[in-house]
Amino acid sequence: MSEPTIDCPRPLDPTDCVLLAHGEGGRASRRLLRAVVLEELHSVAPTALDDAASLGRLTGEVVVTTDSFVVTPLSFPGGDIGSLAVHGSVNDLAVCGARPGWLTLSLILEEGLPLAELRRVLRSVRRAAEACGVRIVAGDTKVVARGQCDRMFITVTAVGVRPEGVRLGIDLVRPGDAIVVSGPIAEHGMAVLVEREGLMLEGELRSDSAPVHEAVAALLEACPEVHFLRDPTRGGLAAVLHEVAEQTGLTIIIDEQSVPVAPAVRAACELLGLDPLHVACEGRFVAFVAEEAAERAVAVLRDGGWAAQAACIGRVERREGVGGGVLVRTLLGLERVLDEPTGAPLPRIC
């Protein structure tokens, strides 16, 4: 009788994947930091990432934001979790009127993550940071056991400086303000959804993930009449409009026909029963601008090459007896109430 065999799993090769030891702070941690993280981030990070960093003496108002990124899948048409983490953080500063300068990078890695995949994401972080002109000045890496994290999560804290004289705020929104969107909406959320579910649809769906700080800077320089900016991420354009309506008590009316939506995105939304107004963007912003500056704002974005499909999509009104709300004027000239997002039809899109 032959001896029974025990089928043991192959030990993980420490040269090709993340191990729990990489998160323990010892020799393996230092090796991962030097040979993978810092090697891939070489052009935008110092030779050693510290727990904290000095930014020197800054001139202007310091603005800081922090965000975590848990998108699945890690890569999607038009980007991945690495570029998304940089763009999303830079854009949060941009819509506050700040110029981005510095990032911290925190990685939570799942045991068994291929180092080749980690390298690809870090290269994407580096390229995005280079394009945005920002430096990674501090960081942290943690490793959790299999099943306790979905491959990789990233947290970024971003610091920027807002020039003197720039003032933006939801409290500045006034009746008569025009609403300008910087480009077609819903592209990021639909690209991630289609990639995640493996759907085969006609037309190319690509994320709009991109930095908007240069476009915002050009807009603010040419149009000091900009009152408020926001990037329509989770909850999409609808979430931004409802936030403004609720906090100001004003009524927002948008023209359905004026909202730019790419044909492939519109077709995918119709097929899946989704409203593009509820779907996230990652490279767009919404501007509330004084009525007399609306055409100039659109022209600045279009003619400067920042946002070729920028459009004025509606206005802010004060309607007697009507509290804050959002209405959509349809193709037939009728008005319908735009529901506020209440759940998460597209979870983990950022």
Q: What is the pLDDT of residue 344?
A: 63
Q: Which residues of the chain have pLDDT under 70?
A: 1-15, 322-323, 343-344
Q: What is the pLDDT of residue 14?
A: 53
| Position 5 in a domain | no
Number of structural domains, the chain? 2
Alpha carbons within 13 angstroms on the beta-carbon side of residue 244 total: 32
Give just the sign of the alpha carbon dihedral 232, 233, 239, 245: negative
Q: Point out the domain boundary residue: 162, 189, 215.
A: 162
Find how far residue 149's CA is from the centre of its chain: 21
Same domain as 118, residue 102: yes
| Position 107 in a domain | yes
Same domain as 180, residue 100: no
pLDDT tens figures, 32-41: 999 999 999 9
pLDDT tens figures, 111-136: 999 999 999 999 999 999 999 999 99
Q: What is the pLDDT of residue 101?
A: 97
Same domain as 315, residue 233: yes
Q: Which of 327, 342, 175 is nearest to 256 (CA)?
A: 327
Same domain as 101, residue 222: no
Residue 11's alpha-carbon distances to 19, 111, 320, in angstroms, are 11, 12, 71
Q: Point out the domain boundary residue: 142, 162, 182.
A: 162
Q: What is the pLDDT of residue 12?
A: 44
Q: Which of 210, 241, 223 is nearest to 328 (CA)?
A: 241
Same domain as 90, residue 154: yes
Q: What is the pLDDT of residue 6?
A: 47
Query: To which residue do tokens 């912003």 refer?
Result: 285
d(CA 11, CA 260): 52
d(CA 326, CA 339): 8
Domain with 236 in it: what CATH number? 3.90.650.10
Give me the domain span that covers residue 256.
170-337
| Position 14 in a domain | no
Q: Point out the domain boundary residue: 123, 139, 162.
A: 162
Same domain as 302, residue 178: yes
Same domain as 318, residue 193: yes
d(CA 264, CA 197): 17
| Position 13 in a domain | no
- At residue 312, φ and ψ (nearest 5 deg) are -85, 120
